[in-house]
Structures are given as structure tokens and as C-alpha cells.
Amino acid sequence: MEKVFDVIVVGGGSMGAAAAYYLAKANQRVAVIDRETVPNDQGSHHGQTRMLRFGYSEGESYVPLVQSAYRLWRELERESGQTLYIHTGALLMGEEGSDFIDKVMFSSTTHDLPHEWMSANEIMTRWPGLNLPENYVGVLDTMAGFLLSEECVRVYKELAENHGAIFYEQEQVMEINADENQVQVTTAHHTLQASRLVVTAGAWTHELLPTAQLPIKPVRKTFGWFQPKQEGLYESTHFPCVVFDTTFGLYYGFPDYQGKGFKLGRHDGGQKTTPDQLNRTFGAHIEDERELRQLLNEFVPEAAGSLVKGGVCIYDQSPDEDFILDRHPTHSHIIFAGGFSGHGFKFASVVGKILSEMALDQPLSHSIDSFKLSRFK
């Protein structure tokens, strides 16, 4: 029997759960389909934490978007009564005069963001757990912190359900058919119909919409939690999130939160894969732990204790590492969001709102011109 909705959302991760919340809150009949449970550890939102920073090295045009995202995250906390954001600050470090540091400073000064410029000596005096070369500097993003990623998705799901959204979990989409006015989505167990479809399926998005020709390349990424050698140095009560732009890679780290250990990952690099072929075992490649320890040994030596836990996630990488947010080129009632390239989670709140506005044909709260698919043609 066919079930009829106003909007179907395929992919119930960070962007999809947020979009479902805003749509259901707008009194839309919403169905969310996900091949796993919501939340889960198969996509890009697991691993406890995601950084939210304002002085954006990926481009100052993201700053207004992240400011809106921050306000929406805080609204979500108030509505849910849950703590979702931990304010720690974020220290972004690299060689003085490097492109990375220059972009962070340009974003910070252009948008008048609160920040502190610090020398290597000043950084090491304030946070003795860090070890930096003399030619390194840091920019402390004083408003930054981290989001509890799985909790964020869980709260969006619960609130969306409270507003009437229905989640079809552990159901793989078998087929998507569209005509001029309707979209039909078939899973192994259900056939759903709606006048609008939103696809936010991460590394599966381009496979679900082959005619859109989305240039998304899935990349296997790893991260790990390490037991500090010295107690108290890296606790989230006084140690910030960190980003290291080094000669051997770009790394991000999180303070020890709730005794889980110092968390570290490498943003660049990784192995090209497909979602179905992804090796989810940390340590399957020799570089999984070796790359992380290289950074720890040189820059955060007192955090380089035993590996507490390793994790694997998947990036949906776009060619320019900017988001892809648009309508299907031949079916305008199909909307998609992908290519978040490992820096999208913090924007889930505002992207979810924009997706809901697109589905409702409302004026957009932010321009998406720079994220349109046509830039690759």
C-alpha cells in the first residue's frame, strides 16, 4: 500500500534529521528513510564530537552561515532542554605567514570575530601540553567549541517525531521515480509518495541520484582517542579544540571530555572508497594509527599514551571541498545536499533549515549560489 506524504527525506543523518525537524515543525507530513538506525555509526556524524569554529580557514564566506548555525544550535538546546554544545574555544595553529593562518585571520578580521593572536611561546606557556616550533603561531577562536554530534542527531529526530514525522529506519532505498509533480520512493518494505523529495544521504547521495551526476567521491577517514600520559593537561574545562596545519598534514583535535581521552583525526589524506566497500576496522591500514601518532609525538607529546579507541568514518568529498546544495537539474521538486567534505556537521542546523525552505518554496535565509551543482559544469 502506498503511503502519501508532503515531503520524503532520504538520509536521516545530521542534515536529514535537521531538515525533517524544520519541515515537521512547519506542519508538513514528513517521512524519513534511512538504511541504518538514527543516529548510527555508518555515516559521518558518529564519534562523539564535532568542532564548531567561526574563524573559517575554508573561506570567509562560510562565516555568516556558521553564525546562523550557532544560533540555531542554541535554539535547539533551549527547545530540547539538552546540552549539545560545549564551549572551549578553538586554537588554530600553523606557520606564521602560511595560507592557512592568513585565511583564518582574514575570516576573523573581516567579520570582526573575537580572537587572539598568539606566538608559539605564548601558546606553550598557556597550554603546557602543546609543543610548537618557534615559527608557529596560533589564532584562538574564543567563541568556538564542540557539538555532541550523535546527541544532536538524536534530538532532531525526537523533536521531528514529536511534530509528526515518521522515521523508516533500517530500510534501504531500492528505487526513486519522479514525474512532473510527484516522487515515489520504494524500499524493501514500503512505497512512499510525496510532492517533494530531499536527499541527504552523505556518501550514498550520488548513487541514489545518478541522473544528477553529482561529483562526490567517498573517502575513508580515521580518528582515535588517546590516553594522556599526564593527568589534567587536556581536560575540556580548560583545554581548547585544536587544529594543526603541518608540513605532513592538516589535523584536528578535541580535549579530553568526560574521561574519554584526547581525540585526534587527520582532515586531509585518506583512502578513496565506496560506502559498501569501506573497511570500517581501525588499523586495517598501517597509516591509521601511525599518522595520528606522528602528530601527537611532535605537537602533543603528553597526549601520546595508549590508544583508547579508534574509529572510521566516511567523507563525501566534492572536487573543491565546498558543499553541493541544489535542485535536481531535471526534477526541481527533488532537492539534494552533499559533498560536505568533512567540515559540514557544524552547519547541519542551518542547512536543515535551508532545505526546508527550498522544499516549501520559501525565500532562503542564506544564498546557496556558491553551492550550486552548475559550478562543476
pLDDT tens readout for residues 39-68: 999 888 889 999 999 998 888 889 999 999
Which of 282, 301, 317 terminates a domain? The answer is: 317
In sequence order, the 6+-apart residues with CB closer than 8 A to the CB of 199 are 9, 10, 11, 205, 208, 209, 334, 335, 336, 337, 338
- 166 part of a folded domain: yes
Based on the fold, state whether residues 251 and 266 are members of the same structural domain: yes
CATH of the domain at 40: 3.50.50.60
Q: Are 313 and 360 in contact (CB under 8 A)?
A: no
Candidate list 25, 35, 45, 49, residue with the active-site label: 49
Q: Are 233 and 360 in contact (CB under 8 A)?
A: no
pLDDT at 45: 87
Q: What percent of the chain has pLDDT over 70?
A: 100
Which residues are paired to 318 by β-bridges? Answer: none
Q: Is the pLDDT of residue 328 over 80?
A: yes
Q: Are strands 241-246 and 90-95 parallel, antiparallel or unpaired?
A: parallel
What is the arithmetic mean of pLDDT over 269-277?
93
Is residue 46 among the annotated active site residues? yes
Torsion of CA 129, 133, 137, 138, to 10 degrees: -30
Based on the fold, state whether residues 300 and 349 are members of the same structural domain: no
Number of folded domains that form the chain: 2
Backbone angles phi, psi at 221, to 5 degrees: -130, 150
Based on the fold, state whether residues 97 and 187 are members of the same structural domain: no
Q: Is the pLDDT of residue 110 over 80?
A: yes
- 225 part of a folded domain: yes
User: Nearest Cα to 100, choosing from 136, 51, 69, 62?
Assistant: 136
Which of 267, 298, 317 terminates a domain? The answer is: 317
Based on the fold, state whether residues 26 and 175 are members of the same structural domain: yes
- 38 part of a folded domain: yes
* Domain housing 233: 90-142+217-317
Is residue 346 among the annotated active site residues? yes
Is residue 49 among the annotated active site residues? yes
Based on the fold, state whether residues 168 and 36 are members of the same structural domain: yes
Candidate list 206, 267, 331, 353, residue with the active-site label: 267
For residue 207, the SS3 value is helix
CB burial of residue 106 (10 Å; 0-12, 13-18, 19+): middle
pLDDT tens per residue, range 280-312: 999 999 999 999 999 999 999 999 999 999 999
- Which residue's C-alpha cell is 524500499? 187
Based on the fold, state whether residues 121 and 221 are members of the same structural domain: yes
Based on the fold, state whether residues 290 and 248 are members of the same structural domain: yes
Q: Is the pLDDT of residue 157 over 80?
A: yes
Based on the fold, state whether residues 291 and 202 are members of the same structural domain: no
pLDDT at 31: 98
Candidate list 25, 45, 50, 220, residue with the active-site label: 50
- 113 part of a folded domain: yes
- 248 part of a folded domain: yes
Q: Cα–Cα distances in Å, from 9 out to 109, 356, 365?
A: 38, 10, 20
What is the arithmetic mean of pLDDT over 217-244?
97
Is residue 313 among the annotated active site residues? yes
pLDDT tens per residue, range 191-200: 999 999 999 9
User: Could you please report the per-residue DSSP string of 27-85?
Assistant: T--EEEE-SS-SS-SSSSS-SSEEEE-SS-TT-GGGHHHHHHHHHHHHHHHHHHT---E
Where are the alpha helices (H) located in 81-141, listed in sequence order?
99-110, 120-126
CATH of the domain at 103: 3.30.9.10
Is residue 372 among the annotated active site residues? no
What is the arithmetic mean of pLDDT over 314-330?
96
Q: Cα–Cα distances in Å, from 354 out to 122, 157, 315, 336, 337?
A: 41, 17, 21, 11, 10
Candidate list 53, 115, 220, 313, residue with the active-site label: 313
- 71 part of a folded domain: no
Instruction: Pick the range with the lowest mean pLDDT from 57-66, 89-98, 147-156, 206-215.
Output: 57-66
Based on the fold, state whether residues 15 and 28 are members of the same structural domain: yes
pTM over 0.85: yes
Based on the fold, state whether residues 116 and 161 are members of the same structural domain: no
Which of 268, 295, 317 terminates a domain? The answer is: 317
- 83 part of a folded domain: no
Candidate list 45, 157, 346, 353, residue with the active-site label: 346
- 156 part of a folded domain: yes
Is residue 190 among the annotated active site residues? no
Which residues are paired to 310 by β-bridges? Answer: 224
pLDDT tens per residue, range 224-233: 999 999 999 9
Candidate list 3, 29, 46, 293, residue with the active-site label: 46
Q: How far apart are CA 212 and CA 168, in angstroms?
A: 25
pLDDT at 1: 59
Based on the fold, state whether residues 171 and 310 are members of the same structural domain: no
For residue 190, the SS3 value is coil
Is residue 238 among the annotated active site residues? no
Q: Is the pLDDT of residue 74 over 80?
A: yes
Q: Is the pLDDT of residue 351 over 90?
A: yes
Candidate list 35, 45, 221, 263, residue with the active-site label: 263
Based on the fold, state whether residues 309 and 330 are members of the same structural domain: no
